[in-house]
Amino acid sequence: MHHQGRCGHGHPGMGYGHSGKRFGRPFGGGAFRVPVNVLKTDSSYEIFVIAPDRAKDDFKISLKGNELTVSYQAKEETDQNKNWIRTEFKKASFERSFFVDETIDSAAIKAEYHNGILQVTLPIIPGSEQPTQEIFVA
């Protein structure tokens, strides 16, 4: 899986780095961008989407071709009658996309939402990763 920013650390299966054309597109044209951490283990990639105070049923995770998309569509808040003095946190809509390659077992992708963090697990197919090959310049 590759992050679409191509800042890349060269890991097969998934990349990450600066935001790119398909990674981190704001949902609906807004500018809100949720933080995302990506962890590679021996058996999977783990995507952690930091999105507190959301309902797990409002997340949408889809895989179309090689693009995994995680999105959240915010519902209209009914706090118009509240007299907020200061608001620094808002449950805005968002969308983040990742390129998934052939090393990921797409049928076994799973997601859980606990304590404000959506964790998407992308299992690596055993034996599918190619070893790094160093090319010497002549």
E strands, the chain, are: 2-3, 36-40, 44-50, 59-64, 67-72, 94-99, 110-114, 117-123
In this predicted structure, the answer to whether residue 6 has a pLDDT above a threshold of 80 is no
* Domain of residue 23, residue span: 2-76+89-123
8 Å CB contact between 129 and 12: yes
Task: Determine, yes or no, domain membership for 45.
Answer: yes
**pLDDT at site 1:** 56
Structurally, how many domains does the chain consist of? 1
Task: Determine, yes or no, domain membership for 135.
Answer: no
Task: Determine, yes or no, domain membership for 82.
Answer: no
Residue 32: CATH number of its domain: 2.60.40.790
Both tokens of residue 42?
Answer: 């021996």
Note the pLDDT tens digit of each residue in 23-51.
444 334 445 789 999 999 999 999 999 99
- What is the pTM (predicted TM-score) of this model? 0.71
Task: Determine, yes or no, domain membership for 25.
Answer: yes
Report H helices in the chain: none
Task: Determine, yes or no, domain membership for 131.
Answer: no
In this predicted structure, the answer to whether residue 12 has a pLDDT above a threshold of 70 is no
More confident residue, 124 or 12: 124
**Cα 41 → chain centroid:** 16
